[in-house]
Structure 1
Amino acid sequence: MTTHRPIKKIALFMLLAIASVSSFAANDDVDDLRATTKNEWVMIKNDRRQNIKAWSKIEEGKRLRSFKIEGFADTSMESLARTIVDADNYTRFFWECYESRMLKIVSPTDFYAYLKINIPQPIPDRDMVLHGVIEPYTKKNGYMMFRFTASPHFLPSIPNLVRVPEYTFWIKLTPIDAKQVRFDMEGFVDPGGSVPIWAVNFMQRAAPYTSMVGLFRRAELISFDTPSPFRFFDERP
């Protein structure tokens, strides 16, 4: 998959990476290069049009940044939840994902998904196995949670791909009304292998925001005609 990509794509990636640290102001991004304090969230994007905000944080003892993002989706809780677990269609909204599938449904609240992620040459593509756990909505809690962790040993490694060793994040859905949901996401990813820090930090900056915008658009447009194998609600809002 990595042998026939056009050179112009690599150049575009490099250009975007440079732009990400030199032109934030023109795109409502917030320059976080001045912030050197660890364990403090620094806003890196404030998209007023999409009503999405994103932050990053330098974790103590880690060379890579954590990410946090929040926004509002104009759709129902169920539609957004079903899109989040629709692993066979992650290619439609997950950042640079070109192959995805559901591997195993363990229970109505537990599953494994597989993804392949496109990375411009000369960096090898990544693949990952995500273990997802659903915490259904209850009136007492007032929200629904999805917790994801990388399970790199769930499948044998694949030649020419680097298995992502660490990807931990959670998603929290809070209903505002019948047609609007607050979305909060926080996590950390280590893509493994040898990747320049600037490239990793660029991907951590771009991937959550881009994936979130795509997720919202799909959830707002799609309709599901068949029952879901997953349980999202112990009680309805």
Structure 2
Amino acid sequence: MVKVCRSVVAVVAAGMMSVAVQAAELNWQLAKDEQGVKVYLAKVEGSKYKAYKGVAVMNTTLARLVALQEDVSGSCKWMYECREQKRVAQEGEAGVVYSRINTPWPVTPRDTFTEVVTEKAADGSITRRLTGKPDYQPEESGFVRVSKLEGFWQFVPKGNGQVEVIYQVHTEPGGSVPSWLANSFVVDAPFTTLVELKKLAEQK
């Protein structure tokens, strides 16, 4: 079982460095720009699956966004194809979340254990690094474990009651996934997730 406790200073330093390096290395191409959400895709060396990045500026507060994300079970309502989600560990700024993900027939549903480490920067922005932990617990019957997941959420206050939200992920879904499903997922996942989050975050 992965240990979630770690030095906050080391987490922040390593996390911000990994986010900066990852963003610099990937060649992002705009794939969709609708409803206030931009989706970018990038090839990842050594993988047949593309990374995705969704970006949206929302008329809301940082506190509202954090509250929506902290409701781990409730966030399934706005996360793309999320069937079930729960927090299974938390210590300080690091925790582990278990998620079950719907897939169209006949593809077997996926599940994942994701370590989530929260970092708070001096400018008020919040970054949550996401790292898949496929061996955190034994595989569940009826699900294929996502073999690799890396990414982050980032909330950046922009002033005038606005927050920029960035959602970036690259996964290796495990098992066999048809190309049509993989190609649609990398666009639909960030787009639908941010559209639904935007609706909730901007509710008066």
Task: State how far apart, in whole Å, the 2-side matches of 1:164 and 1:46 are.
Answer: 28
SS in 1 for 2:202: helix
Task: State how far apart, in whole Å, the 1-side matches of 2:160 and 2:30 are.
Answer: 29
Partner deviation per Cα, 1:14-38 (whole Å, 9 max, x = no partner): xxxxxxxxxxxxxxxxxxxxxxxxx
Q: Is 1:111 matched with 2:95?
A: yes
Q: Which structure 2 residues correspond to residues 171-182 of structure 1 after superposition, within 5 A?
A: 171-177=153-159, 179-182=161-164
Higher share in strand: 2
How many residues are aligned here?
Answer: 180
Task: State how far apart, in whole Å, the 2-side matches of 1:118 and 1:75 are.
Answer: 29
Task: State how far apart, in whole Å, the 2-side matches of 1:120 and 1:87 are.
Answer: 24
Residue 186 of structure 1: aligned partner? 168
Structure 2 length as normaliser, TM-score? 0.82
Q: Which runs of 4+ in 1 moved over 3 A?
A: none
SS in 1 for 2:134: coil
Task: Give the deviation of 1:178 after TM superposition.
Answer: 5.8
Task: Give the deviation of 1:155 after TM superposition.
Answer: 1.8
What is the one-letter code of the residue matched to 1:42?
Answer: Q
Q: 1:127 aligns with which of 108, 111, 114?
A: 111
Residue 22 of structure 2: aligned partner? none
Decide whether the 8 Å contact of 1:84 with 1:215 is kept in 2: no
Q: 1:86 aligns with which of 60, 65, 71?
A: 71
Residue 72 of structure 1: aligned partner? 57
SS in 1 for 2:73: helix
Q: CA RMSD in A?
A: 1.8
Task: State how far apart, in whole Å, the 2-side matches of 1:163 and 1:61 are.
Answer: 20
Residue 80 of structure 2: aligned partner? 95
Q: 2:198 aligns with which of 194, 199, 216?
A: 216
Task: State how far apart, in whole Å, the 1-side matches of 2:163 and 2:156 are.
Answer: 6
Residue 8 of structure 2: aligned partner? none
Task: State how far apart, in whole Å, the 2-side matches of 1:130 and 1:176 are.
Answer: 28
Decide whether the 8 Å contact of 1:54 with 1:68 is kept in 2: yes
Task: State how far apart, in whole Å, the 1-side matches of 2:55 and 2:70 are.
Answer: 19
Identity, in percent, stands at 27
Q: Is 1:43 matched with 2:12?
A: no
Task: Give the deviation of 1:62 after TM superposition.
Answer: 1.6
Q: Which residues of structure 2 form unaligned runs of 5+?
A: 1-25
SS in 2 for 1:221: coil
Q: 1:197 aligns with which of 167, 176, 179?
A: 179
Q: 2:42 aligns with which of 57, 81, 84?
A: 57
